[in-house]
Amino acid sequence: MKLLPILAVATAGMASPSFADDTAQIDTAITSIAAGADRHDWDRARGAFADEVTLDYTSLWGGEPAMLTVDDVIAQWSGFLP
């Protein structure tokens, strides 16, 4: 039963409107990017990004992260995603 106060504190922090709003916005952005790319709904994917994006594929292909416009990112993705 000693865990209940800890759980209550953690749950209270997670339930704050700011945290909940931030979490919902992050969830919506991730879903829009993934579902938009998967369905080739490029407007949906584009809408989840800022105008300028840091694209970092260094863990896959090495090199350096690149700053691109969202239109450049969408153009790249639409050219190689099946």
Segments making up each domain of the chain, as ranges: 3-80
Would you state the pLDDT for residue 17?
72
The pLDDT mean for the chain works out to 85
Q: How far apart are the C-alpha atoms of 67 and 15, rounded to whole Å?
A: 35
Tell me the Ramachandran region of residue 48: left when phi exceeds 0, alpha when psi lies from -120 to 50, beta otherwise: alpha
Would you state the pLDDT for residue 48?
97
Would you state the pLDDT for residue 76?
95
What percentage of the chain has pLDDT greater than the value 70? 80
pTM: predicted TM-score of the whole model, two decimal places: 0.71
Would you state the pLDDT for residue 71?
97
